[in-house]
C-alpha cells in the first residue's frame, strides 16, 4: 500500500530520513503538507510568506506533486490516508508542546483506522529528551549540555534521493497557499537557496584568521553570521548536514558555529523537559518580580515595537526586525534587555512581538533567548548585568554603520557618535527613559525577589 509523507518542519528532500522509512514500505508515496490554522494564526505576514515560498519550492522539487490541505491534522491526515488507501504515515518527530500533543492525537486517529504513524528523526542534531544529566532529568546548564551533546554525537546525513520514490499525483487540488502582503525583505525560500547560502557562508571560514565568524558574529554592522536560522527553522537544511560538512574543520569559526547549533538543540531540550516555560519563568523566583502596566507602559511598549525609544541601537534593531523579519543576535539581546530592564515590561510581551515578526520565530529559541536576557531562564545572564545600550552600541557597532542603515533620521551623525541619545535630531525621538535611572530601578526590583 502507498505511504503518506507528512512534511512539517522538514521542507527538503535531501538528508530526510522519512523518505527512507517510507521506501521500506514500498515505492508509492504521497507528499502532504497541512496548513494548520492553530499554527498559522500567530505567524506574522513575513513568516507566512516564507513558509509559502518554501512549500512552492518543495512542490517544484517534487514535480508539482505536493498536496496542501487546510484544517485540523487530526481529521485531515486520516482523511488523506484513507483517500489513497495508505497504510502508513511518515514524519519527523515534533517536540514542541503543541506539536507533540497533536502528533499523539493524529497517531490515535490513524490507529483507529488501521494506519501506522511512523516518526523518524527530528529537526535537531540530538533529539530533545535524548541526553540526561547526572540527576536523570534535563540539563540546566548549557556548557554541561554541550559536553554531553558532543560526546553523544549525531548520525551521518541520510543519503536520500527523492527519485527513488514514486510520487503519487494528489487526489484533489491543493488549498491555496497563504499570500500575505509583505513589506519585509526576505531570504530566498527553499532547500536550494538554503544550500547556496550555507555554501557561501562556509567559504568564509577559510580566511578565519582575519575577521571570521568566531569574532565577527557579534558585530551587527557586518554581514558575518550565516543567516540560516529561517532555513533551519523550517528544515530546508538539517543541522546534521551542517555538522557533517564541518566534521574535519577544527578552526575557530567551525567550533563557534557548532556551539551555536548546540544552543538551538539545548533550548529545544529545555522546552521538552519544561513545556511550561514557553509561557512561564524557568526560575520561579521571577514570578514575584514587579512589572509595569497601564497606559504609560503601553506607550513605552509601542515606542519599543516601532523603534522610537530614542536609543539608537535599540531602534535600529526593532526596525530591522520589521524590515527583514530578522534581527542580529547581539541586537536581539540589547533590545530584549531594554524592554525588560529599562522599561520594566514582562519578557513575554516582547517575546510575542518577536514571534509575530521573526521569520525564524521558534518557541524554544525565542522564549529561552528572552528568558536568558531577562534573567529568569536556564543559565541566565545574571539579572544585575544590565546592558547599557550606548556602551553596547559603541562596542559592537563602533562606526555606527548599523544604526545609520536602519535609522535614516540619524544619517547626518557621523561615526560612533551616533549611539549617543538625546542629540535633538529633527524627526528622531528624545530618549523615552533615562538608562541610569531605570538600571537602578531594575536592580531595586530584583533585590526584592533575589533571596526567595
Sites of contact with ligand FAD (CB under 6 A):
217, 225-229, 232-233, 260-261, 263-264, 267, 329, 332-333, 336, 354, 358, 360-362, 365-366, 369-370, 373
CA 258 to chain centre: 16
Rounded least distance, CB 119 to ligand FAD, Å: 22
Q: How far is the CB of 94 from ligand FAD (least distance, A)?
A: 16
Could you tell me how far CA 7 lies from the centroid of its own chain?
18
Closer CB to ligand FAD, 162 or 374, in the complex: 374
d(CA 165, CA 209): 45
> Are the beta carbons of 40 and 48 closer than 8 angstroms?
yes
Name the residue among 180, 203, 210, 243 with its Cα closest to residue 15. 243
CB of 313 to ligand FAD, least distance (A): 14
Give the residue with the Cβ less far from ligand FAD, 345 or 413.
Answer: 345
Q: Which class for 63: exposed (0-12), middle (13-18), buried (19 or more C-beta within 10 A)?
A: exposed
Nearer to ligand FAD, 124 or 428 (CB): 124
d(CA 13, CA 321): 30
Measured from the CB atom, the residue of 32 and 321 that comes closer to ligand FAD is: 321
- Give min distance, CB of 243 to ligand FAD, in A: 11
- Considering the complex, state which of residue 167 and residue 266 has its C-beta at the smaller distance from ligand FAD: 266
CA distance 244 to 237: 12
Q: How far is the CB of 241 from ligand FAD (least distance, A)?
A: 13
Nearer to ligand FAD, 67 or 363 (CB): 363
Give least dist CB 446 to ligand FAD, A.
19
Shortest separation between residue 130's beta carbon and ligand FAD, angstroms:
17
- 241, β-bridge pairs: none
* Residue closer to ligand FAD (CB basis): 191 or 362: 362
State the residue number with the nearest CB to ligand FAD: 369
Report the alpha-carbon distance of residue 90 to residue 102 in Å, rounded.
15
Q: How far is CA 269 from CA 180, 241, 362, in A?
A: 33, 20, 13
Between the CA atoms of 262, 267, 271 and 273, what dihedral angle is there, to the nearest 10 degrees? Answer: 50
Kindly state the DSSP code that residue 333 receives in the 8-state scheme.
H
Amino acid at each position: 500500500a502507498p505511504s503518506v509523507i507528512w512534511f512539517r518542519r522538514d521542507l527538503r528532500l535531501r538528508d530526510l530520513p522519512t523518505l527512507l522509512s517510507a521506501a521500506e514500505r514500498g515505492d508509492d508515496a504521497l507528499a502532504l503538507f497541512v496548513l494548520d490554522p492553530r499554527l498559522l494564526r500567530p505567524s506574522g505576514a513575513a513568516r507566512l510568506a516564507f513558509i509559502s515560498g518554501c512549500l512552492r519550492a518543495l512542490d517544484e522539487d517534487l514535480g508539482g506533486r505536493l498536496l496542501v490541505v487546510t484544517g485540523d491534522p487530526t481529521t485531515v491526515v486520516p482523511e488523506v490516508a484513507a483517500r489513497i488507501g495508505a497504510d502508513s504515515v511518515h514524519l519527523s518527530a515534533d517536540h514542541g508542546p503543541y506539536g507533540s500533543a497533536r502528533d499523539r492525537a493524529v497517531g490515535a486517529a490513524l490507529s483507529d483506522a488501521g494506519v501506522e504513524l511512523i516518526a523518524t528523526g527530528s529537526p535537531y542534531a540530538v533529539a530533545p529528551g535524548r541526553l540526561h544529566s547526572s540527576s536523570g532529568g534535563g540539563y540546566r546548564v548549557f556548557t554541561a549540555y554541550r559536553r554531553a551533546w558532543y560526546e553523544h554525537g549525531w548520525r551521518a546525513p541520510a543519503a536520500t534521493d527523492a527519485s527513488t520514490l514514486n510520487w503519487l499525483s494528489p487526489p484533489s487540488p491543493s488549498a491555496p497557499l497563504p499570500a500575505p502582503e509583505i513589506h519585509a525583505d526576505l531570504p530566498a525560500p527553499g532547500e536550494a537557496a538554503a544550500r547556496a547560502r550555507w555554501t557561501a557562508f562556509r567559504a568564509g571560514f577559510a580566511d578565519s584568521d582575519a575577521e571570521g565568524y568566531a569574532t565577527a558574529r557579534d558585530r551587527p554592522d557586518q554581514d558575518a553570521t550565516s543567516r540560516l536560522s529561517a532555513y533551519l527553522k523550517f528544515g530546508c537544511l538539517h543541522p546534521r548536514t551542517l555538522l557533517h560538512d564541518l566534521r574535519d574543520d577544527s578552526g575557530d569559526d567551525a567550533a563557534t558555529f557548532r556551539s551555536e547549533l548546540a544552543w538551538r538543540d539545548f533550548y529545544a531540550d529545555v522546552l521538552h523537559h519544561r513545556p511550561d516555560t514557553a509561557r512561564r519563568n524557568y526560575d520561579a523566583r521571577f514570578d514575584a518580580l514587579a512589572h509595569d502596566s497601564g497606559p504609560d507602559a503601553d506607550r513605552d511598549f509601542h515606542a519599543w515595537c516601532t523603534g522610537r525609544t530614542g536609543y539608537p541601537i535599540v531602534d535600529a534593531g526593532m526596525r530591522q526586525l520589521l524590515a527583514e523579519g530578522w534581527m542580529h543576535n547581539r541586537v536581539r539581546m540589547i533590545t530584549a534587555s531594554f524592554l525588560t530592564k529599562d522599561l520594566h515590561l514582562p519578557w513575554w510581551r516582547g517575546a510575542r512581538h518577536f514571534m509575530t515578526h521573526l521569520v525564524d520565530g521558534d518557541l524554544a529559541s525565542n522564549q529561552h533567548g528572552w528568558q536568558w536576557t531577562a534573567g529568569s531562564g536556564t543559565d541566565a545572564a545574571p539579572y544585575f548585568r544590565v546592558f547599557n545600550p550606548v556602551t553596547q552600541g559603541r562596542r559592537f557597532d563602533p562606526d555606527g554603520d548599523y544604526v545609520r542603515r536602519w535609522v535614516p533620521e540619524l544619517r547626518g551623525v557621523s561615526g560612533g557618535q551616533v549611539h549617543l541619545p538625546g542629540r535633538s535630531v529633527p524627526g528622531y525621538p528624545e530618549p523615552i527613559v533615562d538608562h541610569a535611572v531605570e538600571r537602578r530601578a531594575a536592580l531595586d526590583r530584583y533585590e526584592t525577589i533575589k533571596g526567595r
